[in-house]
Chains A and B, each alone.
Chain A
Amino acid sequence: MAESLLSLENLRTYFYSDVGVARAVDGVSFHIDAGETVGIVGESGCGKSVTALSILRLIAPPGRIEPDSRIVFEGRDLVTLRENEMRRIRGNRIAMIFQEPMTALNPVFTVGDQIAEVARVHERAAKKAAWSRAVEMLELVGIPAPAERAREYPHQLSGGMRQRVVIAMALVMKPALVIADEPTTALDVTIQAQILDLLKDLQQRFGTSILLITHDMGVVAETASRVIVMYGGEIVEEAPVSRIFAQPHHPYTAGLLGAMPRVGETRERLQTIPGTVPPPTNWPKGCRFHDRCQFAWERTLHEHPPLYDIGPGHRSRCHLAVEPERRQQPHEPLVVQQGAAS
């Protein structure tokens, strides 16, 4: 198999708390090739952000990456890397973009200082060189009058500007991989499109791979080439973008798509997925989605489904792959039935 830029093998990140072990990420495997954009989607609490933080080894106790997990990046296993070597990778080879541009910047330093800091950390760049690098980066991410803007503080900039600054910080070292955790969620819709365009543009220029974490299927459709759907700390479906929109296999994926408004469609109401993500200390037995699924049957209550291969590059963790006739028998999901009974 060809060497991927990043490949996760059975990543498990558990949090050890008083109320039990939270298996936030529970056996996730996927890979990203150079220059590729992969989207991870799922509801809050499905493990996507923990996956991202695990890749950078930013999980703090009581959280822990379980020892048999492997995160192979550029041929090296990040799980076993020493902390100071890991630090040389963070911001340098792998960088992260955060959701809230409001809080992801330090309020007491100018944005120029903060961008320059990255160059100073990784290249021991001189102050002046680092500063002009910062200005250059600001220009690159499309901030007008970058030399003046560099001297401003985060609160003087708009949300979209701030997110551009955050992106500039992530790209200073031209990393091979950028992890973007909900990069547009906190922004206005009009700004969202600009930021996504910027990411795409920069990716083409530098050949960076992007791991895009979002709960917004629309964002994925616009940017990613491959989609990973997570639920209950594991991957439930993985497919090329075109396939996932045309023929979603897992009922959860279908639910996410149904919950998304589309232009040119006349529907009375958007569909919802009933219920919520179960607590990670207590994933349901069998299929973790069974209580919210309209196709659940005996088998899904007891047998944890594997990731079935169901097409080119298309995998799904659903027993419907082997019993497709069940799709003809939708019913009220268990959560709804129980809710009505009680």
Chain B
Amino acid sequence: MPTSPTRWQIRASVFAESVPGVAMFRRSSRSTRVAFAILIGFYVVAFLAPLIAPYGVGEQVNIVTMKNRPPSAAHWFGTDNYSRDILTRVLYGGRVSLSIATLAMLVAAFVGTFYGLVAAVAGGWIDTLMMRVLDAFLAIPRVLLLIAILALWNPVPLWGLVMLLGLTGWFEVSRLVRAEALSVREREFVTAARSLGASRRRIMFWHLLPNVLVPVIVSVTTGIGNVIVLEAALSFIGIGVREPQSSWGTMFYEGSNAYAGTWWWALFPGLAIVITVMCFNILGDALRALLDPRHLPRAALGTRGAAVASAE
């Protein structure tokens, strides 16, 4: 007798069917799938850096004979000024860059979702006030704000950088969440839940939250790419990640200061940044398009989406 699937298996498959982004991913374009695969690859490689890196982190192979060597069989990406293997450093740098960006966007998603939900549920003047505060935050250029804070908080630990990048990146998320929550709030199942005695808090977390996560996912995806660039920029001007820690941004900065002849020193960390950000943008755009019913082929739509599409 075949065993019936567990609740979680069903939940996962239903989620895959009901959330258009996930369902559509299988039918998505080749570039999207390639981008997705590259990103997964980068995360895996960065995570496994200690296992797969050919040399130790910070290991100076031979300071006399092996510094500033171009790419070779032994050192695929060449070596730097201190005879460190650049491939190894790019792998370890990826750990720092990717984890800072991912964690920062998680912080942003968390704060933004909560803020947006509270505003939508509270409504009235509280909502108005919260949105005006948000406008005020949005009026401050993010880079300038970060530079100002980092000038004072010096040197900044990695967790500090994560918090700063996260806490300056949630505004967009909270707007999206609020807008979505306002529309979900009017759906009948929310009234039904209230008619059955659910409290405001329960409505917020049980009924609204799971139904507003889709735009959050999109926003976080593109957000990670932005944060990687931002972190690289801050590191490039010397106020982000510092030695002995190094991110792709730090390495690119060091490489760009080196002799003109040692092109490999800046090229590989730079490529890593460009490829990662591009992949995140492709993925984000694909998700955004997939979640917008006007972009969907009719057959792939549920009844609700079909109604929207045919109404146009």
Contacts and interface: CB of A to CB of B under 8 A. Distances in A.
B195 A90 contact: yes
Contacts of A56: 194-195
Contact of A100 (B188, B193, B199): B188
A166 interface: yes
Nearest to B206: A117
Interface stretch (A29-37, A106-114, A198-206, A261-269): A106-114
Contacts of A151: 7, 10
A289 to B, nearest CB: 30
A104 B193 CA distance: 8
A299 interface: no
A166 B196 CA distance: 11
Interface in B1-57: 4, 7, 10-11, 14-15, 18
Given A106-B189, A155-B18, A96 B195 contact: yes
B191 A58 contact: yes
Contact of B188 (A88, A91, A103, A153): A103
A89 B191 CA distance: 15
Given A88-B197, A117-B198, A166 B18 contact: no
A121 B192 contact: no
Which secondary structure dominates where chain B touches chain A? helix
Interface string B201-216: 0100011001100000
A103 B189 contact: yes
A107 B210 CA distance: 9
Contacts of A105: 189, 192
B187 interface: yes
Interface string B167-191: 0000000000000000000011101
Contact of A98 (B15, B18, B191, B198): B191
Given A106-B211, A108-B18, A148-B4, A121 B188 contact: no
Contacts of B198: 87, 91, 117, 121
A92 interface: yes
A90 B196 contact: yes
Interface residues of A, number: 36
Nearest to B188: A103
Contacts of A170: 196
Task: Identify which of A89, A92, A99, A104 gathers the most chain B CB atoms within 10 Å of its CB.
Answer: A104
Contacts of B206: 106, 109, 117
A129 B294 CA distance: 44
B12 to A, nearest CB: 12
Contacts of B193: 106, 117
Contact of B196 (A61, A91, A103, A109): A91
Contacts of A109: 206, 210
A132 B308 CA distance: 38
A169 interface: yes
A96 to B, nearest CB: 4
Contacts of B15: 108
A188 to B, nearest CB: 16
Contacts of A96: 192, 195-196
Contact of A108 (B197, B199, B202, B211): B211
A188 B192 CA distance: 22
Given A103-B189, A151-B10, A87 B18 contact: no
Interface in A55-102: 56, 58, 61, 87-92, 95-96, 98-100
A143 interface: no
A250 to B, nearest CB: 31
A236 interface: no
A117 B197 CA distance: 10
A118 interface: yes
A56 B197 CA distance: 10
Nearest to B124: A61
Contact of B197 (A87, A104, A107, A156): A87
A191 B197 CA distance: 28
A121 B195 contact: no
Given A56-B195, A104-B192, A153 B211 contact: no
B258 to A, nearest CB: 53
Nearest to A103: B188
Interface in B290-312: 302
Interface string B111-144: 0000000000000100000000000000000000
Given A91-B196, A96-B196, 10 more contacts: A89-B197, A98-B188, A99-B188, A104-B189, A106-B211, A107-B18, A107-B211, A110-B10, A121-B197, A151-B7
Interface of B: 4, 7, 10-11, 14-15, 18, 124, 187-189, 191-199, 202, 206-207, 210-211, 302
Ranked 7 nearest A-B pairs via Cβ: A91-B196, A91-B197, A96-B195, A90-B197, A103-B188, A108-B210, A104-B192
9 contacts: A87-B199, A95-B195, A106-B189, A106-B193, A106-B211, A110-B7, A117-B193, A117-B198, A155-B18
